[in-house]
Copies of this chain bind each other. A is one copy, B any other.
Amino acid sequence: MPKVTQAHVDARRTQILDAARACFARRGLHSTTMQDVIQEAGLSAGAIYSYFSSKDELIEAIGSARHAREQSAIANAGRKADVRQALEELSRYFFAALQDKNEREGRRVGIQLWAEALTNERLLSLVRRGVDEPRKMLAALLRTAQRAGHVRADLQPDALARALIALFHGFVLQQAWDKSVQLEPFRAVVDAALNAILLGPLNER
C-alpha cells in the first residue's frame, strides 16, 4: 500500500504544470528557467525532476494536457446529430474559452507551442493531431450535411473545416497580441460565415 496516493502524485504534477504554464506564459518557453518554475511551484529542483524528467518533458506535458482538454470538448460538441447544433455548440465552446481570463495563460503558451512545433517532432505531432482530429470531425459533419443538401455543394468539407480552424487559430493570435480586441463583433462574423455555408431551410430564418 503506497503511502503516497495516485491522487497526491496527480496533485503534484498539476501543481508543477500550473507553475510551469504560468512561467511560460509570463516569460516565454525559452526565457523561463527551471529555477523560475521551481520557485513558482514552491518546490525544489529535485522534486520537479522526480515528476518530469526534463524541461522538454514539462513543455510536452503542457501541450498534451492542452490537447486532451480541447479534444474532449470538441468531441462532446461533435456528438450532436444536427449540423447546425453541432457547429453552434463548437462555436459556443470556442468563444467561451476565448472569453475565459483563466485560459489566457494557456492560450499564450499554446501559441508558443505552435512555434515550437516547427522544430520539435513530438510537439509537431501533438499540434497536428490538434488540427487533424477536429478537422476530420468537422469535415465528417459537413460532408453528411452536404449530402443532405444542407451545405453548399461546391465547397470541400475538408477545406471548410480547415478554414474554420484557421479562423479560430488566427483569432487566438490576435487576441493574444492585443487584449483590447473585441470578441463579439468577431463572433458575429463567424456566425455569419457558418450561416453562409449552410443552405436550405436552415439558412432561411
Contacts and interface: CB of A to CB of B under 8 A. Distances in A.
Interface stretch (A12-20, A71-79, A85-93, A185-193): A185-193
A167 B167 contact: yes
B131 A156 contact: no
A185 B170 contact: no
A31 B189 contact: no
Given A28-B119, A115-B114, A128-B177, A193 B190 contact: no
Given A173-B169, A189-B163, A115 B111 contact: yes
Contacts of A160: 189
User: How many subunits of this chain does the assembly comprise?
Assistant: 4
A166 B171 contact: yes
A169 to B, nearest CB: 4
Given A111-B114, A171-B166, A174-B131, A119 B189 contact: no
Interface string A161-205: 011011111110110111001100110111011001000000000
